[in-house]
Structure 1
Amino acid sequence: MSSINSVRIPGLATGMDTDKMIKDMLANDQSKIDKVKQNQQISTWKQDKYREIIKDVKGLYDKYFSVTSKDYILGSKSLNTLTINSSNSNVITASSSAGSSGIDYKFKVESLAQEPQMTSSISKSGVSIQKNSKLKDLGLSGEVNFKISIGDGKDSKVISLSEDDTIDTLIEKINSSTQGDIKASFSDMTGKLTIKSNSTGENSIVKIVDVSKDVDGNFIEQGTSSSLDFLGLKDIGGVDIVNGEVKGSNSKITVMDSKGNIIKELSESKNSFNIDGITYSVNGVGEAKLSSTQDVTNVVDKMKSFIEDYNKIMDSVYSTVTERKSRDYTPLTDAQKEDMTEKEIEQWEEKAKAGMLRNDSELRSFMEDIKNAMFSPFTEAGIGLSEIGITSASDYNKQGQIELDEEKFTKALKENGDLTQKVTTGVFEKVKDVIYKYAGSSSGIFVKKAGVEKSSTAINNIFSNQIKKQEDQIKDLMRKMKAKEQQLYAKFAKLESTMSKLNSQMSYLMQ
């Protein structure tokens, strides 16, 4: 017994093995301590196993349900089987989504969609525009007040300029007045001041509107637009701006078939647009050919990879909650370990861990929720996973696992990729929600029970609190046993002293 003080040398007068006797007397106390230590060990093992499951489940979530992952399976392009090639990516490129039809078109881009833009590069009295140029040197006299009106009806805050302001302060005041809808800038390379909207297209309009103060100090729109005339602003074509207003423009694109026959004339307000599930990006003026090829291999491989990783988790959880426990193997006490080799201890503990989470309620609930999410009818699409080749495992011992019929899944991708995408996304979104509910955040059911290492939940969780209580219980039992041990040694010491005196008296009488 480790708590017994080994420096004592009792029993000289009585001839008794005091250490052994006291150890036997404290056997029941030591047994209580060992029992709590064994329970604490089980709690620790349970927590370790839970954390393994949390790591695996969260790993599945991060790999397949995080939008930043290359293996993300919920996006519109995750089941895309088309690859679109451009003969000139400087002119136009395109990308497809699931269900998109193949294309073979020629594009002639005559112009890109432009934002409304005002530019100035004037010089007065030989002084060219610089960032630190004062506005009075460029022609401003006194003070002007104006707003910048944007095509969708939004106005900027009132901008007030004085002749002592510079180009830099003008830029700063414009940029802070529209919450990013209008951007002013100056190029040291070209010596040009630019004011433009962040929206392209012919419906995007920017206008300078003069304002003045009434007698109460309130700003009133004047219906004029001369506040920035001193800058000599021009539009993107170099034409003087009339009434302080400038408009954007749409793109002009001619679409032809492979033989050169015109299919459509496009006029788009943006340089990125979607037609028939294909997103086109216009990059420059010129001609280019876009053609597509279909390859389902990557999509099938991605689905196989997901199913394999998903099944590993379901197999692990199912094995954990169904594993039988052997009552012949319990956590070893310190005394038992002293008589065993490390290999023997390892083999014993492996058997002692078996079945420790059998029928665990949270793990059981997780499996049921996952199965319901995976196999409940998906009415939005009118069909379920089984119609596209994804079914529950035929082996009864593979509860919650799924199988992929590659031939059926491939056919579904080729013939109805859009519907296949809708079904998988709808079902897997529900699976994602279940995983998040159990392991996706600090409030997850698994996380609240076992915690995650190196996080705020590592200490504040059910198992850690249980282990802490057991540790306090062990300390309390050891303190009581130590006190009892000291009392027993004191009593035996008194007995030894008494016997020693009696032995001395007997020896005296004998003489």
Structure 2
Amino acid sequence: MRIGGIASGLDTETIIRDLMKIERLPLDRFFQRKQTLEWQRDAYRDMNLQLKNLHDAASNIRLRSSLNTRVATVTDTQILTATANASVKTGTYEINVISVAKTEKYMSDSQIVTDTAEKINVSTAFNSQISVTDNEFSINGQNFTIDDKSLNDILKEINKREGLGVRASYDSVFDRVVIETINTGINKTDGSPEIVLGGGFFSKVNIDVNNPFQQAANAEFTYKDMATGLTTEPIVSKENRNTVGGITVNLQAVGTSTITVTSNTDDAFNKIKSFVDKYNEIIGLVQTKVSEKVNRGFRPLTDEQRRELSEREAELWDEKAKSGLLSRDQTLTSALNRMRLDLYSPVSNSGQFNQLAQIGITTTSNFREGGKLEIDETKLRAALADDPDAVHQLFNGTAVTGATETETYNQTGLIGRLRTTIDDTIKKIESRAGNQFRTNQQFTLGRELTNIDQQIDRFQRRLSDIENRHWAKFTAMEKAMNQANAQGMAFMNQIMGAGNF
């Protein structure tokens, strides 16, 4: 039971609250330390997010196609379409299509249902609509049964059968069944049919098993370089999609078409510029964070201190208190130095470019910017137009098998080096600051936060004991004074009573 100043007239509650303020000072420091660690954890995680953004920007120029500046224009797209890779020289090329690759196909000669006004119901039993005497049929030596299956079920079974090499379908517009090979081209060298059909089912759907609607055929074409006048021997392929001289053509009809390969550097240039811009942004951010001043006179505000300030004042205070959370951080400083080295060191490759400066990307003249990059647009576009494959090698070259650690680094392209550095840095930061998937026990700052929480809990119990002892002392004093007052009143009453006699 707490008695506050009844006998003594003291403001006991205020006195104890002031005494506890002094006792609570270490607890405030615990909370401030906890807040600092939480801010630091969040600052590290934000830095990891920025590094991942740089990682993604680097990924956008990893693929060979991302730096391909070649554009193929075809004179007759009814005959073929084409794309050119980065290794193709600009110029004009001619494709003479002698034949296109075809599947072997069997199709109903007429409607399945005799009455041309009707069509077969593909969802009900086939033998309930068409009289069937032969329950079994075969395709390429594999047997099937009709039983009470619908036409849909029969066709699905054909399509699901492994190793059959054919697909079956129903043309609902013309009431016909189609059986054809999955792949184009002639696959049997002995001249035998690509599809062998047997059984009465096919006659019931009006397919002549001895007379394919379309016979399998290989694609055949020639390729001519108009600059040299050289023409290849006829190229035979089972597919209509073929690559020759770095140009991928999709053959569609017999005939001759011209392909003009030109250079368009806009897309590749913009991707490289986007990467450089993101790199400069991250370099600037890391440089700022590791060199930020620590304001030691601005500790995180306690709840009581925050209540005494306006919202704007508290915001400005927090800004000062958060300054320098990552100051001189070794992980980030090391990452900054490694990223600079990754991009400035020459790449050992077979291309004509082995340094960024050769394609117009150099560091800024202001050393205070920490190694930011700047682009000579004319020089970069010229490099992309002249040899986009060499530019790709500079950024994305890979080391040969069996290379030593040093050789591997030297042969690895700039993007590969940078991505490795970013990945290593992210892992180190996660071991210190964790991520949304880690518990506090799985990273360094988390364990520190857990330890502080435990210290706070112990200290709060200690403060509660101290406060209870203060109240007990003041309560005992109040009781004693109350008893003394009562005794004094009794004594005075006795004296006053004696004076009346």
Q: TM-score w.r.t. structure 2 length? A: 0.78
Bigger CA drift: 116-125 or 375-384?
Answer: 116-125
Q: State whether residues 101 and 237 of structure 2, in contact with CA within 8 Å, keep that contact through their aligned partners in structure 1.
A: yes
Kindly provide the amino acid, as one letter, of the partner of residue 93 in structure 1.
Answer: T
Higher helix proportion (structure 1 or 2): 2
2:461 paired with 1:482: no
Structure 1 position 226, deviation (Å) = 6.0
SS at match of 1:89: coil
2:406 alignment counterpart: none
Equivalent residue letter for 1:25 = L
Cα distance change, pair 226–94 in 1 and its aligned pair in 2 (3 A): closer
Task: Please point out which of 329, 332, 340 is paired with 1:360.
Answer: 329
> Which residue in the other structure is 2:377 paired with?
406
Q: After TM superposition, give the deviation of residue 38 of structure 1 in Å.
A: 0.5
The answer on whether the counterparts of 1:204 and 1:248 sit within 8 Å (CA) in structure 2 is no
Does the 8 Å contact 2:57/2:278 carry over to 1? no
Match of 2:33 in 1: 39
**Per-residue CA shift, 1:57-80, capped at 9, x if unaligned?**
223334552xxxxxx212222122
The whole-number CA distance in structure 2 between the counterparts of 1:196 and 1:62 is 44
Match of 1:387 in 2: 358
Alpha-carbon deviation of 1:395?
4.1
The answer as to whether partners of 1:138 and 1:230 remain within 8 angstroms in 2 is: no
Q: Distance in 2 between matches of 1:190 and 1:451?
A: 64
d(CA) in 1 for partners of 2:258 and 2:128? Answer: 50
Whether the aligned pair in 2 keeps the contact of 1:99 and 1:413 (CA below 8 Å) is: no
Do 1:120 and 1:233's aligned partners in 2 also have CA atoms closer than 8 Å? no
Q: 1:384 to 1:367 in 2, by over 3 A?
A: same
- Find 1:250's aligned residue among 218, 233, 239: 218
How far apart are residue 356 of structure 1 and its match? 1.4
1:95 to 83, 87, 94: 83
Shift of 1:478: 2.4
Please tell me the residue identity of whatever aligns with 1:341.
Answer: S
1:133 matched residue in structure 2: 126
The answer for unaligned runs of 5 or more in structure 2 is: 398-413, 496-501
- Counterpart residue type for residue 37 of structure 1: F
2:431, 2:133 → 1: CA distance? 67
1:251 partner letter: A
Kept in 2, the 8 Å contact 1:113–1:248? The answer is: yes
CA distance in 2 between counterparts of 1:79 and 1:35 reads: 55
| Residue among 70, 75, 89 paired with 2:63 | 75
Deviation per CA, 1:106-157, whole angstroms, max 9, x where unpaired? 5454542223333344678948994453399576625456656xxxxxxxxx
Aligned partner letter, 1:505: Q
Query: Deviations for 1:261-293, whole angstroms, at most 9, x for unmatched residues?
Result: 894544433222222222223344555443233
Change (3 A) 1:204 1:54: farther
For 2:144, the aligned partner's letter is: S
Q: Which residue of 2 aligns with 1:339?
A: 308
The answer for the alignment partner of 1:429 in structure 2 is 416
Question: Bigger CA drift: 420-429 or 360-369?
Answer: 360-369
Q: Which residue of 1 aligns with 2:407?
A: none
Matched, 1:416 2:410: no
Per the alignment, residue 240 of structure 1 pairs with 210
Aligned-partner SS, 1:273: strand
How do residues 58-457 of structure 1 correspond to structure 2 at under 5 angstroms? 58-65=52-59, 72-121=60-109, 126=114, 130=120, 131=122, 132-134=125-127, 137=130, 141-143=134-136, 147=140, 158-162=142-146, 167-178=151-162, 181-203=165-187, 227-228=198-199, 231=202, 240=210, 248-253=216-221, 263-264=231-232, 265-285=234-254, 288-381=257-350, 383-399=354-370, 401-426=372-397, 427-439=414-426, 444-447=427-430, 449-452=432-435, 456-457=437-438
- Give the conservation status (yes or no) of the 8 Å contact 2:54–2:279: yes
3-state SS in 2 of match to 1:274: strand
For 1:80 and 1:272, the matched residues in 2 are separated by 20
Q: Deviations over 1:273-317 (max 9, x none)?
A: 222222223344555443233232442232122101111112212
8 Å Cα contact 2:86/2:388 also seen in 1: yes
**Following the alignment from structure 1 to structure 2, what is the Cα–Cα distance between the partners of residues 467 and 423?**
45
Pairwise CA distance, 1:349: 1.6
C-alpha distance in structure 2 between counterparts of 1:342 and 1:180, whole Å: 75
Give the CA deviation at 1:37.
0.7
Cα distance, 1:335 vs structure 2: 3.0
In the alignment, what sits opposite 2:486? 504
> Residue 56 of structure 1 corresponds to which residue in structure 2?
50
SS at match of 2:161: coil
2:188–2:194 Cα contact (<8 Å) kept = no
How many Å apart are 1:198 and its aligned residue? 2.9
Give the letter aligned to residue 472 of structure 2: A
CA distance in 2, matches of 1:82, 1:18: 87
Count of residues in correspondence between the two structures: 465
- Cα deviation, residue 329, structure 1: 1.7
- Aligned-residue sequence identity (percent) comes to 25
**TM-score when scaled to structure 1?**
0.76
SS in 2 for 1:227: strand
